[in-house]
Amino acid sequence: MPAVAHVLVIVQNLPVPLDRRVWLECQALRSQGYDVSVICPKGPGDPGLEVIDGIRIHKYRPAPPAEGALGYLLEFVYSWVRTAWLSGRVWRRQPFDVLQACNPPDTYWALARYWKRRGVRFVYDQHDLNPELFLSRFGRPTGLSGRVQLAGLRWLERMTYRTADQVISTNRSYQEVALTRGGLDPGRVTVVRSGPDTAAMRPLLPPSDVLPARRHSLVYLGIMGPQDGVDLVLDVVDELVRVRGRRDVSATLLGFGDCYDDLVRRSHELGLDDVVTFTGRAGPEMIAEHLSAATLGVCPDLKTPLNDISTMNKTMEYMAYALPSVAFDLVETRVSGEDSCLYVPSGDVAAFADAVEVLLDDPLRREAMSLRARQRVRDVLDWRPQREAYVGVFDRLVGRGGATATASAAPAYVPDTPEELGRFVRGRGPHPTVRRQALGA
């Protein structure tokens, strides 16, 4: 192996660095002396090639939005061909030693087999369980077409497992699937949780000239797809504002996805334009500003075969900003959030609104949960130990070691102590006098 190993990372479902997990992975490799290249779709206004922090990102124009089985097939074929062509370009510039494919979809095992003939090792970074994703969106199939599609997804997953030299699982539930359904040896499967880098993701001090908020802000951060339940956030806000008459509540929805336009339209139909804000695509600065100012986070993911055993990044990102949250009761969400989150039965909008009100009206409980959230994500779920496990996968494959990089904090951050965090949390949302004015306005 050369002194400097080169890793090519393939992502299809999100641009980089917008995909925060993948970007943390790329930065981790780069900080340990690896050369890193990425192939991914373009975001709005993105160039075909950009270099960020020494990482070369090759981007292709994304396929049009897919509808139906044929549409998804065409999207996968188009993305696969564009990725294969760009991988050849990367190779001609500098041969790569390891190819990492991040799913969905589970189609890049075939490309990996081609490059393995050149001596390239293959790492499968499994972000989603695609058979469970299918079942969550469409239910268990009864017709021939549905059964064929589900069988095809299971075959693709199985072929990816068989091709991979190493598999990265995002949690213990996914690891168990790799060991049982994938039949892999434990030595080939490493758990790397999607923890935030809490040295960078932490509450920001508000500018000194910012006035107290007139409303409590609920915040949603993430993709807005059919399986993400973001429409339920609108139902909860509607319940709080129009049904229960609260005038001290607003909501900010950060992100984009297939359902974005439908959600904006539905918010307008419900008459929530004055209390619901859609930001669209949100970068790190916007995320930091909104999560630092919010009162609590919302996790509307319903209990489905996929969601129940998936780690929700939004939960841990709320925790990084010392935000308590309300979530539907999912196995892996409890693993992440523990007692920094209130859990309600899946799909129960009234119970969700009740839990939100409990936190809005009990500042002492909210403060205690906020401090537990920040402490747990910093001490247990932080990206730093995950970074070591992640880089270790590549070190083993290429036969090298590396030193652990350190991160520095900017002076505008809230000091990471219980006293300062408590003071910061108590200042969030409307002050009692402001709240009375909002309620009585």
**Percent helix, percent strand, percent coil in the chain, to nearest 5:** 45, 15, 35
pLDDT tens, position by position, 133-143: 999 888 999 99
Question: What does the pLDDT read at residue 412?
Answer: 62
pLDDT tens, position by position, 118-171: 999 999 999 999 999 999 888 999 999 899 999 999 999 999 999 999 999 999
Q: For Cα atoms 304, 224, 284, give the angle at the middle one, nearest 5 degrees.
A: 120
Cβ atoms of 80 and 109 closer than 8 Å: no
Question: What does the pLDDT read at residue 13?
Answer: 87
Rounded distance between C-alpha atoms, residue 313 and residue 127, angstroms: 11
pLDDT tens, position by position, 20-79: 899 999 999 999 999 999 999 998 889 999 999 999 999 999 988 767 667 778 888 999
How many residues does this entry show for the chain?
Answer: 441
410 pLDDT higher than 60:
no
pLDDT tens, position by position, 169-216: 999 999 999 999 999 999 999 999 988 999 889 998 876 555 557 789
439 pLDDT higher than 50:
no
Predicted TM-score (pTM) of the model is 0.79
pLDDT tens, position by position, 260-304: 999 999 999 999 999 999 999 888 899 999 999 999 999 999 999
Rounded distance between C-alpha atoms, residue 374 and residue 362, angstroms: 19
Cβ atoms of 293 and 206 closer than 8 Å: yes
Question: What does the pLDDT read at residue 403?
Answer: 46
Instruction: For residue 342, give the nearest of 308, 302, 369 by alpha carbon.
Output: 369
Rounded distance between C-alpha atoms, residue 177 and residue 157, angstroms: 11
Q: How large is the angle between the packed helices 363-379 and 313-320, nearest 10 degrees?
A: 110
List, in sequence order, every residue forming a beta bridge with 56; answer none if it has no partner: 37, 51
pLDDT tens, position by position, 66-117: 676 677 788 889 999 999 999 999 999 999 999 999 999 999 999 999 999 9
- CA-based diameter of the chain, in Å? 72
Is the alpha carbon torsion for 162, 164, 169, 175 positive or negative? positive
Instruction: Count the neighbouring beta carbons within 10 Å of the beta carbon of residue 236.
Output: 22
402 pLDDT higher than 70:
no
Rounded distance between C-alpha atoms, residue 40 and residue 77, angstroms: 14
**DSSP conformation letters of 89-147:** HHHHHS--SEEEEEPSSS-THHHHHHHHTTT-EEEEEE---HHHHHHHHH-S--SHHHH
Cβ atoms of 220 and 231 closer than 8 Å: no
438 pLDDT higher than 60:
no
Contact partners, residue 221, CB within 8 Å, separation at least 6: 254, 255, 282, 287, 290, 291, 297, 314, 317, 318
Is the alpha carbon torsion for 90, 93, 95, 97 positive or negative? negative
